[in-house]
Chain A
Amino acid sequence: MSMRSTLETLERVNSKYLMFHAKTSDTDPGDARFLFSAKDNLTSKDMETCAGSRILEGYFPPFDATVIARMREAGGKLIGKTNMDEFGFGTFSTNSGLEVPRNPFDLERACGGSSGGSACAAAVFEDHPSLGVSTGGSICCPASFCGVYGIAPTYGRVSRYGLIDYGNSLDKIGVLSSKAGDLRRYINIIAGRDEKDPTSCVQPELKDERTPVRSVAVPKEGVEGLSKNVEAAFTNALDELRRMGIEVETVDMPSLKYAMPAYYVLATSEASTNLARYVGMRYGRQDGDLSLKFDDYFSDVRSRYFGDEAKRRILLGTFTRMVGYSDRYYSKARQVREVVIDDYKRVLRDHDAVLAPTMPFTAPRFDDISKMSALDSYKADYLTVPANLAGVPHLNVPCGYDGDGMPIGMQFVADHWNENALFTMAEDWEKEFDLRRPEVSA
């Protein structure tokens, strides 16, 4: 499909899948070299940026996120801002205050989250890189559910300037695409030091080179609690890897079970401070009654425009950092992160990557999601959370389909800064794997 025809059908395609919150109305690609989309928590000058929240409705950022600026400089044309869980708070993109994207393989099912709209766009459009953001698995989860490749690079590899924060010690910007090669290509465009984000200024150079994976470690803890079809697809995938000459070894990573609570404590502690700035002044919704006392005015606006999950995580995060509780929760979680990092480093001394399924099940139906408790959906992230907590790069590759034709993915994890092992693995895997594209009729 040409860039022009993509632009011409954008409106109709979007009305079917709801991947974009804001989108371009241009039908002429001009001198663009490629089209791309970006998660709606990345600020863009020309498009409303809400991070999936009603509290930010009407926010037109006065500056581009560094990643968007770098994509534009490389000749990219931003076609839309992708729908997501409010501020990234979710596993299915159903916690959006705006529109909920639909799975291209089955419109009754979720895209995964929180970069659901990005995974949807990457699956639906050909040759389409979409920028996503991962805090606890928000790139690999939707990539898995929508059957595309997706990478969350090392924490600090890509500047977060212009990212609307969820958890600043966890957030990573990455790329989703139906083509493995796009991950390398576009990460190379957006990565690198940026003086506007100190955490991006300590990285070693990302070299464009092949680093073949010769051995992978499969943690016992990563193959527990899987649905039958995921387990079967993963077993087949391991066989395929062995056929490719890659050594597969089962290992113990006892710290992984602590990663989940540690992640949720750190993520919500940080999130509750990041979201404190949304008080109905300066940007987004500014329509409260200013004659109220500030405490009441702030509470009023926040209660009105934050969604259910945002409120839950604000409450949880405010609690876990309160005097009297922060030692038990916040400080301990910070220590557990170090333990998990050590565990990865130990295993990655002898192996090039750690491998497990990305999600324990395939994309669920919307009506099943509505029956899940908050804790149920948190627990669904148990396979993606540890790598995110440790800030190590991780990449989803599609590895099979269930009986309903829904995609299944697996996640490779490499050591800090070793994205090349993941790129190379995905490129090699792509040659052996028969990727299915969803039928797109618009």
Chain B
Amino acid sequence: MDRETVERVARTAHIRLTEDEIARYSSDLAEILTYFELLDEAPGNDRRGINPIEVADVLRDDEPRMEMDPDVLLRDMETYERYVRGPRLS
């Protein structure tokens, strides 16, 4: 994988890479993708296959209920007046 692609992928994935890492991952990923070329020759199939077994029609009724005390969920979160703290938006 070339350097430019690695940088683009890293940006999309929100991973910041050092120069060393860029060099290392480019060469590792290039090697791995070369191996993945096997897929090009593999036979295809029409089934969608989201899961290895068919998981179908599992639904929940529309009944509201609180599963857990929200205070317990917020216990270890960084909060301010019950709002979860996050970084700057713009």
Residues of A within 8 A of B (CB): 58-60, 62-63, 154-156, 169-170, 195, 198-199, 201-202, 255, 257-258, 260-262, 264-265, 272, 276, 279-283, 286, 288-300, 302-303, 306, 311-312, 314-316, 318-320, 322, 328-329, 332-339, 341-342, 373-375, 378-379, 389-392, 416
Complex Cα distance, B15 from A296, in Å, reads 9
Residues of chain A lying within 8 A (CB to CB) of residue B49:
334-335, 337-338, 341
Residues of chain A lying within 8 A (CB to CB) of residue B75:
62
Within 8 A of A (CB), among B47-85: 47-56, 58, 60, 68, 72-73, 75-78, 84-85
Complex Cα distance, B29 from A421, in Å, reads 40
> Are the CB atoms of A322 and B9 closer together than 8 Å?
yes
A-B contact pairs, 13 of them (CB 8 A): A169-B52, A195-B60, A201-B58, A255-B42, A258-B38, A261-B42, A264-B32, A281-B86, A303-B17, A312-B25, A314-B13, A332-B39, A338-B47
**Nearest-CB distance from A337 to chain B (Å)?**
6
Interface contact tally, CB-CB below 8 A: 188
| A255-B42, A283-B77, A328-B39 known, 15 other contacts, Cβ within 8 Å | A62-B75, A63-B68, A154-B53, A265-B36, A265-B39, A281-B77, A293-B89, A294-B86, A311-B25, A334-B48, A335-B47, A336-B45, A338-B47, A373-B31, A379-B35
Complex Cα distance, B78 from A289, in Å, reads 12
Residues of B within 8 A of A (CB): 1, 5-6, 9-10, 12-17, 21, 25, 28-29, 31-32, 35-36, 38-40, 42-45, 47-56, 58, 60, 68, 72-73, 75-78, 84-90
Complex Cα distance, B33 from A319, in Å, reads 10
Residues of chain A lying within 8 A (CB to CB) of residue B86:
281, 290, 294
Residues of chain B lying within 8 A (CB to CB) of residue A262:
39, 42
> Are the CB atoms of A202 and B54 closer together than 8 Å?
yes
Residues of chain B lying within 8 A (CB to CB) of residue A276:
13-14
Given contacts A202-B54, A311-B21, A322-B9, contact A255 B35 (CB under 8 A): no
Residues of chain A lying within 8 A (CB to CB) of residue B9:
315, 318-319, 322
Our pick among B12, B16, B43 for the contact of A303 (Cβ within 8 Å) is: B16
**Nearest-CB distance from B3 to chain A (Å)?**
13
> Are the CB atoms of B15 and A306 closer together than 8 Å?
yes
Complex Cα distance, B87 from A159, in Å, reads 35
Which residue of the partner chain A has the closest CB to B85? A290
Residues of chain A lying within 8 A (CB to CB) of residue B73:
62
Given contacts A155-B52, A319-B29, A322-B12, contact A294 B42 (CB under 8 A): no
Which residue of the partner chain A has the closest CB to B18? A303
Complex Cα distance, B27 from A375, in Å, reads 11
**Nearest-CB distance from A162 to chain B (Å)?**
13
**Residue with the greatest number of chain A CB neighbours at <10 A, chosen from B29, B32, B76:** B32
> Are the CB atoms of B88 and A272 closer together than 8 Å?
no
Residues of chain A lying within 8 A (CB to CB) of residue B45:
335-336, 338-339, 342
